[in-house]
Amino acid sequence: MLCCRMIAGFGSGAAFSLVSGMTQGNPLMGAFSTGTLFALLQGAFYQVVTQCITQHTDMQEEAAGDAVLALDARQYTQFIDSL
């Protein structure tokens, strides 16, 4: 998934550079460098978001487990543990 996002980021950066004409000199070299920057930023953003979602999910699972224990639902916890 990360690879796909980085490839998409590279493509969008390269296209942006070519369309906007913001590079001076060789447009292909500018497109490559801008595409690389976009790919790195997209990959870093993906890693940060994935980490935040994982932490949030862990907190939700812990809260759900606490709620089950508060209800004294032993059969439910035994069923979940058997999965």
Q: What is the DSSP string of 22-80?
A: ---S-HHHHHHHHHHHHHHHHHHHHHHHHHHHHHHHHHHHHHHHHHHHHTT-HHHHHHH
pLDDT for 39: 92
Residue 20 per-residue DSSP state = H
Domain extents in the chain:
2-82
Tell me if 17 sits within 8 A of 27, measured CB to CB.
yes
Kindly state the tokens that stand for 28: 């292909």
pLDDT given for residue 24 in this prediction? 77
pLDDT in tens, 22-77: 777 888 888 888 899 999 998 888 888 888 777 766 677 777 777 766 776 666 66
Residue 82 pLDDT > 70:
yes
Q: What span, in angstroms and rounded, lies between the C-alpha atoms of 58 and 3?
A: 25
Predicted local distance difference test score (pLDDT) of residue 50: 84
How would residue 20 be classed by pLDDT, with cut points 50, 70 and 90? confident
